[in-house]
Structure formats: structure tokens, C-alpha cells
Structure 1
Amino acid sequence: MSTEQQDVQVSTEGSILVITLNRPQARNAITLPVAQAIAAAVDELDGNDALAVGIITGADGVFCAGMDLKGFVDGELPQLPGRGFAGIVQAPPAKPLVAAVEGYALAGGFEIALACDLITAGRGARFGIPEVKRGLVAAGGALLRLPERIPPNVATQLALTGEFLDAPRAHELGLVNALVEDGKALDAALDLAAAIAVNGPLAVRASKRIIAEAPGWPREERWTRQEQITDPVFVSHDAIEGASAFAEKRPPNWRGE
């Protein structure tokens, strides 16, 4: 196994794919090889019918400190065409993705978490976009996504001051879905992922897509655009199977079709 592969470890827990950033000596900062490995893992999640949900986390009690600044000074940008920073912020997977955050999720690390659908966090976790302190801009999605996830005035304060947001406050604001004791964020993420994975895969993906895309739809087109996504689900094998399983009081056998 190469060093680049060791820097991102990918494993499975049943139908759940777990992506672990594994550069603890650099607080799991993102390099170009790491971005490429994350992109490959996301492709595996979406392309493998046996996988239902993904989790991204960091090794040794730290989520991610963002871009590797040593690499940046040397001219390396850890972003991919069409995918953006870390190979994910511009192109999250179609399937659900949960961020399990311990320690720091800063700058691009926070933006990776914001590219996920759900976030679990240990109580000691801290979030922040301190780019302005370094003469940079949080261009990996935080300025776009954060005002949609927490009150815009709070997002503005974080962006302009570079201050940190602790996990309990992030949970109060609705950014963090599950606040747990330190060291338990991955367990909480696995629980969330398992609760998602038992549901119909077509329905889950359609629901995620609508939630993600609907804010940009013209108001007069919202119902039409939603129907374009939901109509195929209602006539799918899985829809019939879900109704039949409920009536027959048995677990459904999803086929994703």
C-alpha cells in the first residue's frame, strides 16, 4: 500500500463506507493525493450498489485542519477539476454522507463537513473558517453553505472574524445533528448511517437530491421539478416492495430499481 493510500483509509461496515483521513502528523490536512483518494472513495460509494451511506472522519481525534499549507506554499492545490477542494466540496456523492467530527474541523476541513448531509461531533470539537487570518478566503463552500445551515449573521461573524464555533453551540444552531462524548462521533455516525441504510435507496437518493437542489429552483417550477425526481421512484420496484413488505409485516428486500 502506498503512502498516499495510507493517508486515506477506506473500509466498510456492512453497507456503510467509512473514509478516514489518516495524516495525524499534519492534523489530517489535505494534500492533492488525499483529494484524489477521497474522490475515488466517493466514486466507490456512488458506484457500488452494495453501499448505501458514507461516513468521513479523521484519525487520532482530529477531523481535518484544512489545506496542507506547506504544500500550498510549494504550489500544490489539493483540488480536482469539477470536484473542487478535497475532491468533494463541489461534487458530493448522490448517496448520503455523514461527517464524524472530533477535535478540529477548520478551514477546508469544515468545508468537507459542510459538504456532508449530516454531522456528528464530540463535545470538544471545534469548527471554524479562519482563512481571513491567513489572508485567504473560505472558497471551498463555507461561504455558500454555512449561511444555509446556521443563521446568516452567525455565519457572517465566523467568516469575517475567523473565530471558532464549539460543538455544543453548533448543535444548538442545528449544524450538528448528534452531539456526543468525545471519541464517540464515529459511533454516532454509524448509528445514523445504519438508520438511513435500511430505507429504500431510490427514495433516499431522491430525497437528498430534492433537499439539495430545491433552494435554487424558481418558485413556479418547484412542484414540476420535484415530480421529475419523485415520479420514477413511485413507479419503481422498490415502491411496490416497500408497500408489500409493510402489509406483510416483513423487512423489505430493496433492489434499487
Structure 2
Amino acid sequence: MTQSTTDVGALVERKGNVLVITINRPEARNAVNSAVSIAVGGALVEAENDPEIRAVVITGAGDKSFCAGADLKAISRGEGLHAPGNEHWGFAGFANHFISKPTIAAVNGTALGGGTELALAADLIVASESASFGLPEVKRGLIAGAGGVFRLPAQIPQRLAMEMIFTGDPITAARALEFGLINSVVPDGTVVDAAVAFAERISVNAPLSVQASKRLAYGVFGGVRVDETEKWNLSATEWEGLMDSEDAKEGPLAFAEKRAPVWKAR
């Protein structure tokens, strides 16, 4: 194993034919800022262009949190979260960044908000026993605008998805496995190794066959999932309208100030 890239936002390592991307902000529970988006998105470009890379694993530093979602403190300061010049990659440089190489989320703890959206964007998910998944954006005056609102109902039963979206309450790894949101649950501390082993099972197969199969499975044309185009457009419209509201400003501010938000529905 050799380390190829170190960035303030993410660490990138090669393990044979597998590229492991680790969001590297453990002090902020791996919350996403622009540095994370730049590093992760760049690593995906590296993976897509390198014929020796057959699969990608994405995880979070430490053993507590896979990703706590957007850095709300950065939002409250008016900072952007996307990779400058590559905003089309989406949240964390990953949420709307299609690559032909299979991607596996190794969820090593809490995956909340954008953390769950990153997992939903991966092709496969391996989770630790202590992992949890949730979209708490409604608790902060926001929406799961990185694909969560339309991808979650597509990947689990609609009633459970709507419960999670409306309440913002998380589910355990065990329940996520029960309803098919994830592929497997492994003991804490072993999730990255398990995900790499999963990736190695894929890597022994003909790479061009795997990549063509992935594009067909998702209906990809010109590097874009055509079935999601209108959903992304609608999501962007709703997000832009919501961000003009007082509540959308109150939610992140209340979080930063460690107090309960006061909603005004305007």
C-alpha cells in the first residue's frame, strides 16, 4: 500500500487496484466543506482516468463519523461547499459525480444529512455495527438537496423513506440492512477492510465489462444519469427558493450558536 495524495480535505491511498478515499476532518465529524469537495472530486477523476484502478472505496477518518453532512458553520459564514470550477460534481465532489468505476461507501459511524447522501450516491454500502443513517435537514431549515430526497425513496420502501425525510430521525445499520439500503454490516473497526475486500471481488472481473454494466444499469449517457436530470433540476429550484427564507438562515445559525431554532415559516 502506498499513499499517493494527501490533502487537507481527504486522504487518498491505493490498495492494489482499489482507490481508498478518506474524508479527513475528524475534528468536525468529517463535515463537508469546499476542501473536501475539491479533494474527493479530484480523487474520483484520478480513479476514472487510471486503468489500474478498478474500484473506489470512500470512508471517513476516525471511528465515530463517516460524514456529518454539510459544514453548517461554514454555511453560516457564507462559505461555499462545492469545488470551485467543478460545481457540477455536486456535494463533496461525489453526490452527482458519476464515474464508471464501482464505488463503495465504507460507513464507519454516523452518516447524517450529506453523509447519508454520499452513501446513497455510492453503488454499494458496507456499514459498521454502530453506523446510522438519517436526513436531519428539516431540523435545520434545509432540505436534503444532494440527492437524498429523491434517491432515498428509490432505494428503500417509500413509507420508511418519507418517515426519515419528514422526521429527520436516523435509522440503525441493522434496520438499514433489513430494508436493503446497505449490503452488509460488519464489526466496528473493520469496515474499510471489508469494503476493500468487497472491491477486490469486483476487481478480479473484466474491468471494461464491469464499467459498461454500471453505465447500462444506471442508464448513463454522456456521463450523466439521464433518469435523474429532471430530479436534480427540481431539487435545485426548491433549494434556491428555500435558501431565501428566514428559516433557512435560522437553522444553521441556531446550530452554530448551539441553541434551539425558532421557526417562522417564512
Q: Normalising by the residue count of structure 2, what TM-score does the alignment of the two structures yield?
A: 0.78
Counterpart for residue 26 of structure 1: 28
Contact 1:18 1:55 in 2 (8 A): yes
Q: What corresponds to 2:255 in structure 1?
A: none
Pairing 1:163–2:169 present = yes
Paired residue secondary structure (1:6): coil
Percent identity over the alignment is 45
Deviations 1:50-93 (A, max 9, x none): 10000000111120001111111111121242111111111232
In 1, the alpha carbon distance for the partners of 2:205 and 2:52 equals: 13
- Residue of structure 2 equivalent to 1:76: 79
Asked if the contact 1:178/1:188 (under 8 Å) is kept, the reply is no
**Other-structure match for 1:213:** 219
* Residue aligning to 1:253: none
1:128 to 126, 134, 140: 134
Tell me the alpha carbon deviations over residues 4-44 of structure 1, each in whole angstroms, 9 at most, x when there is no partner.
Answer: 81330000000000000111100001110110111100000
Residue in structure 2 matching 1:110, options 116, 122, 146 = 116
Distance 2:154 2:80 in 1: 27
Give the CA deviation at 1:101. Answer: 0.5
2-structure distance, mates of 1:52, 1:97: 9
Cα deviation, residue 216, structure 1: 6.2
How well do the aligned residues superpose, as a CA RMSD in angstroms?
Answer: 1.5
8 A contact 2:8–2:36 mirrored in 1: no
8 Å CA contact 2:70, 2:113 repeated in 1: yes
Q: CA deviation at 1:208?
A: 1.0
AA aligned opposite 1:36? I
Candidates 70, 93, 98, aligned match of 1:87: 93
Q: More deviation in 130-139 or 82-91?
A: 82-91
Distance (whole Å) between structure 2 residues aligned to residue 208 and residue 107 of structure 1 = 26
Letter in 2 for 1:9: L
Q: Higher mean Cα deviation, 130-139 or 72-81? A: 72-81
Secondary structure, counterpart of 2:66 in structure 1: coil
Amino acid across the alignment from 2:38: Q
Shift of 1:100: 0.3
Q: Which of the residues 27, 42, 45 maps onto 1:43?
A: 45
1:172 aligns with 2:171: no
* Alpha carbons 1:106, 1:127 under 8 Å: kept: yes
Distance in 2 between residues matched to 1:216 and 1:134, nearest whole Å: 31
1:203 aligns with 2:199: no
Question: Structure 2 counterpart of 1:208, which letter?
Answer: K
2:19 matches 1:17: yes
Q: Which runs of 5+ in 1 are unaligned?
A: 218-257
- Superimposed CA distance per residue, residues 99-152 of structure 1 (whole angstroms, 9 cap, x where no aligned partner): 000111010111111110000001110000000000000010111211111001
Q: Which amino acid aligns with 2:61?
A: A
Query: What does the per-residue CA deviation read over 1:166-212, in whole Å, with 9 as the maximum and x for residues that have no partner?
Result: 00000111111011111111111011100000101111011111221
Which residue matches 2:146? 140
Equivalent of 2:70 in 67, 70, 73: 67
SS in 1 for 2:185: strand
TM-score by length of 1: 0.80
State the number of aligned residues.
Answer: 214
Higher relative contact order (CA 8 A, sep 6+): 2
Asked if the contact 1:28–1:59 (Cα under 8 Å) also holds between the matched residues in 2, the reply is: yes
Whether 1:191 aligns to 2:202 is no
**Alignment match, 2:236:** none
